[in-house]
Structure 1
């Protein structure tokens, strides 16, 4: 019994020490070790005026080339985000390219996610007031409040929740809090880290 109690004490001490060592720098470093993260997402958008929640789901890709949201329900569509551009791909394959110039809120969200997966903590600090907190169960939260007044007039904060182990970190959800009171929640499941994109996935970033 004493051996079991001693082992339990050592285990909890190790977990506590690991949680204490978590930081935005360590989380970004973990996330950047995987060039590609793929999985399923659920999006819930809460409308500020009515409180109604709109739900959609599909598959996502986070990569060093950009981000892909492939919505499957309620209607199929694909959204490709780069740091300075957005491509909307319809179910029929039609493409609409939008430049990020003049859309500070869009550019802010895109650059934030790309910075996280590129281990560029300094860029996050340039654009946001950053607060990082870690839980005893190895969960963590990053709260990002935009410094730019134009962005803040549209989006009050971005909150990222995730979990880390001794070998990796994963983002479990992202919450975009709108300045007018609405919010968009993304939940991520079934994450994997392939070494290469498929031919179809690479095509999403081509022919902008």
Structure 2
């Protein structure tokens, strides 16, 4: 699989000083990564932030599974051919390049960007990558191409052995913060249940 959604990011371990090239290499070496997520959306017109949590899975050869547990069940499955979303037991909605080319292209671009392909990053973002020492790092991406520059002001990523935080700052002044934890690299292949979920129509 050649691309990832913005949530399918940088979840590979490494040691020592980090460069963007090393980051890219690491991402291609982990076949399956699972993690717990907690997401907080701060919307300027709402008095309280919106919080959600659940589990995510990134499979290099299959795609991304975003499995929200609370405050209500919601699943998002993304691969190179489709994006399937199901909310609270309702019939799933499928987006493909044929039925919604603009949205599919946008998500496909994001997946490619967050594979940490340096050439793609430099083409689409102004990059501020820092090795913070003690194994920690930060990556600030400022979009310079459309449609990203119309939606996001910056995308801030940070972590140590794994990606631990994602902050998305949009042009409307809203912010999404995602904290990833409980990372697991085993089993290194999909379980039977996980394969069935990716294979579902």
TM-score tier (shorter): 0.7 to 0.9
Q: Tell me what 1:181 maps to.
A: 173
* CA apart distance, 1:198: 1.5
Establish whether residue 158 from structure 1 lines up as the match of residue 155 from structure 2.
Answer: yes
The answer for unaligned runs of 5 or more in structure 1 is 1-17, 165-169
Say if 1:204 and 1:93 are closer, same or farther in 2 by CA, change over 3 A. Answer: farther
8 Å Cα contact 2:73/2:89 also seen in 1: no
Counterpart Cα distance in 2 of 1:50 and 1:77: 22
Establish whether residue 199 from structure 1 lines up as the match of residue 166 from structure 2.
Answer: no
The answer for unaligned runs of 5 or more in structure 2 is 1-15
* CA apart distance, 1:186: 0.9
8 Å Cα contact 1:44/1:184 also seen in 2: yes
Normalized per residue, which structure has more helix?
1
Counterpart Cα distance in 2 of 1:84 and 1:152: 25
Q: Deviations over 1:2-52 (max 9, x none)?
A: xxxxxxxxxxxxxxxx43xx2111122223221111011001001022353
- Within a 5 Å distance, the mapping from 1:32-51 to structure 2 comes to 32-50=28-46
Counterpart Cα distance in 2 of 1:128 and 1:179: 15
Counterpart Cα distance in 2 of 1:182 and 1:44: 11
Given the alignment, which residue of 29, 35, 48 partners 2:25? Answer: 29
Q: Secondary structure at the match of 1:205?
A: helix
Q: Tell me what 1:7 maps to.
A: none
Given the alignment, which residue of 28, 49, 67 partners 1:53? Answer: 49
Q: Tell me what 2:139 maps to.
A: 142
Q: TM-score, normalised by structure 1?
A: 0.77
Say if 1:97 and 1:192 are closer, same or farther in 2 by CA, change over 3 A. Answer: same
Q: CA RMSD in A?
A: 2.1
Counterpart Cα distance in 2 of 1:28 and 1:126: 15
Q: Deviations over 1:54-87 (max 9, x none)?
A: 1000000112121111000100111112356311
- Within a 5 Å distance, the mapping from 1:61-140 to structure 2 comes to 61-64=57-60, 65-83=62-80, 85-92=82-89, 94-99=91-96, 101-103=101-103, 105-113=106-114, 115-116=115-116, 120-140=117-137
Number of aligned residue pairs: 180
8 Å Cα contact 1:87/1:95 also seen in 2: yes
